């Protein structure tokens, strides 16, 4: 049975969390580096966003001494792509084809 993707959708619903994922797409970051990228938020606020991302399985955090290193885990995103977005790809293609034909005539 497929896993519950509701926590992933919840995590992706927030623009700050999407920005954090964009940062981590560039490579692993220490928590302090992530906090510095969001001066309008408190450290606690950023940590709460990271907690939601971890609970969704989108971020993996490892301890290195006193530091916490956060990495992107794209597997849940792939699952969404395959399970939800991929299903509608042929519908989009079929919808766009008549639009293209209409615009060319």
Range of the domain at 57: 6-104
pTM assigned to the model = 0.79
Q: What are the pLDDT tens digits along the chain (105 aa)?
A: 467 889 999 999 999 999 999 999 999 999 999 999 999 999 999 999 999 999 999 999 999 999 999 999 999 999 888 887 777 777 767 776 665 566 666
Output the domain CATH number for residue 63: 1.10.10.10
Residue 1 lies in a domain: no
Residue 54 lies in a domain: yes
Residue 25 lies in a domain: yes
Residue 37 lies in a domain: yes
Which DSSP string do the residues of the chain spell out, in sequence order? Answer: -PPP-HHHHHHHTSHHHHHHHHHHHT--EEHHHHHHT-TTS-HHHHHHHHHHHHHTTSEEEEEETTEEEEEE--HHHHHHIIIIIHHHHHHHHHHHHHHHHHHH-
Residue 49 lies in a domain: yes
Total domains in the fold of the chain: 1
């Amino acid at each position: 049975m497929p896993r519950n993707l509701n926590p992933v959708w919840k995590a992706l619903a927030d623009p700050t969390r999407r920005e954090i994922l964009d940062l981590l797409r560039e490579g692993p970051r220490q928590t302090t580096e992530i906090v510095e990228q969001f001066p309008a938020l408190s450290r606690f606020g950023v940590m709460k966003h990271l907690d939601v991302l971890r609970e969704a399985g989108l971020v993996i955090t490892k301890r290195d001494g006193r530091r916490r290193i956060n990495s992107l885990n794209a597997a849940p995103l792939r699952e969404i792509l395959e399970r939800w977005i991929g299903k509608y790809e042929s519908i989009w293609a079929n919808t766009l084809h008549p639009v293209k034909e209409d615009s060319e005539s």
